[in-house]
Amino acid sequence: MTQETAVLSAKPEMALESAAVRKVFVKTYGCQMNVYDSDRMTDALAKDGYVATDVMEDADLVLLNTCHIREKAAEKVYSALGRLRELKKKKAGEGREMMIGVAGCVAQAEGDEILRRAPAVDLVIGPQTYHRLPEALKRVKRGERVLETDYAIEDKFEHLPAPDKAKTRARGVTAFLTVQEGCDKFCTFCVVPYTRGSEVSRPVAQIVSEAQKLVDGGVREITLLGQNVNAWHGSGPNGEKWGLGELLHRLSEIEGLARLRYTTSHPRDMDDSLIAAHRDLPQLMPYLHLPIQSGSNRILKAMNRRHTTAEYIALIARIKAARPDLALSGDFIVGFPGETDEDFADTLSLVETVGYAQAFSFKYSTRPGTPGADLEDQVPEDVKANRLERLQALLLKQQHAFAEQCVGKTIDLLLEKPGRMPGQLIGRSPWLQSVNVDAKSSQIGDIIRVRITGTGPNSLFAEVVS
Ligand code: 5AD
Ligand code: SF4
């Protein structure tokens, strides 16, 4: 059959399909990898005639893509499910069916519990089995309540469709690309090794092909994702061993791909070739998310982080020697079991020493099944709250200082979306800041030279440099 006849004969089917259009509403909680996974699930469902909707009430299928990292995140799911049960009942009264699915790390960790506690849920699907989603929905249609949470042997990425051009265009000029999943580090506070399983790296060819598709769809900046992204490893064209540094080199050869980032990294896995990539690749943005979690060596040991504060500080010095304009971001946990006032003071002093452009900080949340949950000496809630407040005040001060320090600098700005005022656009700086600029003769996707003129509460202001 020629291509033309294929197109002609496809027409009546398309008409039939549009009559049977079904709508999916996906709510994403948690990390960037969930954002990426939600898009892949939406793409997989598109093949079955589902279109995405932003209006939950209109949906034939509601999918909650959940996060289990802290107790609060997991509890949000159950309250959302309570509201969804009412909506499902209301729609059933109007003769409209609505399926409810729970995906993500809560699905993986508490699948049976969800089915028991939330009778309105039709489907529970863990992160390793998203490629089975269309089949699972068929089983739901046949009246089953489905639980798919085994660690699939087959590679989910081989089966999940890569983003097509139209969808990529609609999603904007920056994109995530998962290159690695799972974690073998077993920090004693963290559920990830249990919910996402052990480390798996995607093969080079799969990653390059997906990156190329994203660029063909207008993407200018790609952030490589992995729970422990710098543990990514693979093989080069001649079978030689590649680490993330080599992968970044390969991706930087893609024409039109202007910017690369990667997240989240473990300090133990920053190897020489990755540090060299920061020196050698102009596409690799000078911004690194490198969590340490605590500034106390005693607590780092109890957390099983397998590095000291001195090693972390020395590592940062090496990366900064390779890329002097590098800015840092981090994650911190306060109130890990046994954390004393002195340990906390060490965290504040580490933050002072390093100086972060941005950082995320959390109260320790006991996660069932992790070694931290069995430790005695849990820190009282009010102590955690007080420490968090003090740490966040310091981090915010550093974030503002970093922004102030940008004023007067001329930088490259990737234009991402329209601003509030006519002619105004919002762009992304090399250090992940939002920057407002009047740039009437430029368009989204352009990278332009601008001078930073001022700071606002959450963004910067700039003028075009001709
Ligand atoms: N309690 C609080 N914060 C946690 N994180 C991971 N597990 C916990 C927990 N049990 C934080 C860490 C990690 C980030 C993604 O979430 O700082 O880097
Ligand atoms: Fe969790 Fe990150 Fe530690 Fe892995 S390295 S266990 S994902 S905190």
CATH 3.40.50.12160 boundaries in the chain: 2-148
**pLDDT of 349 strictly over 60:** yes
Give the right CATH number for 294-404 from 3.40.109.10, 3.60.20.10, 3.90.1150.10, 3.30.750.200.
3.30.750.200
**pLDDT of 457 strictly over 60:** yes
**Rounded Cα distance, 456 and 436, in Å:** 10
What average pLDDT score do residues 236-264 get? Answer: 97
**Rounded Cα distance, 346 and 350, in Å:** 6
The ligand placed nearest to the CA atom of residue 231 is: 2
Q: Which atom of ligand 1 is nearest to the CA of 361?
A: 17
Taking only the tens place, the pLDDT of each residue in 126-174 is: 999 999 999 999 999 999 999 999 887 678 888 888 888 888 988 999 9
**Rounded Cα distance, 138 and 49, in Å:** 13
The ligand placed nearest to the CA atom of residue 188 is: 2
The dotted CATH code for 162-285 is: 3.30.750.210
Give the pLDDT score at 7.
30
What average pLDDT score do residues 436-448 get? Answer: 94
CATH 3.30.750.210 boundaries in the chain: 162-285
Class of domain 410-464: mainly beta
For every residue of 165-210, DSSP letters joined together read: HHHHHHH-SEEEEE-EE--S---TT--HHHHT-S-EE--HHHHHHH
Protein residue closest via CA to atom 2 of ligand 1: 364
Fold exhibited by the domain 2-148: Rossmann fold (3.40.50)
Q: φ, ψ for residue 318 (rounded to 5)?
A: -65, -40
Taking only the tens place, the pLDDT of each residue in 356-367 is: 999 999 999 999
Q: Is any ligand 1 atom within 6 A of the Cβ of residue 263?
A: no
CA-derived radius of gyration, the chain: 24
CATH 2.40.50.140 boundaries in the chain: 410-464
**Rounded Cα distance, 21 and 59, in Å:** 11
Residues with CB under 6 A from ligand 2: 183, 185-187, 190, 192-193, 227-228, 266
**pLDDT of 10 strictly over 90:** no
Residue 33 CA, ligand 2 centroid: distance in Å:
14
Residue 161 CA, ligand 1 centroid: distance in Å:
31
Give the pLDDT score at 20.
67
Give the pLDDT score at 5.
30
Enter the pTM of the model.
0.93
Q: Which atom of ligand 1 is nearest to the CA of 360?
A: 17
Pocket probe for ligand 1: among 304, 332, 362, 364, the residue whose CB has the most ligand atoms within 8 Å is: 362
Taking only the tens place, the pLDDT of each residue in 407-418 is: 999 999 999 999
CB-based contact 147:107 (threshold 8 Å)? no
Q: Which atom of ligand 2 is nearest to the CA of 331?
A: 8
Sign of CA dihedral 233, 131, 175, 61: negative
Taking only the tens place, the pLDDT of each residue in 166-206 is: 889 889 999 999 999 999 999 999 999 999 999 999 999 99
Taking only the tens place, the pLDDT of each residue in 17-26 is: 444 689 999 9
Give the pLDDT score at 161.
84
Buried b (16+ CB within 10 A) or exposed e, 40-54: bbbbbbeebebebbe
CATH 3.30.750.200 boundaries in the chain: 294-404
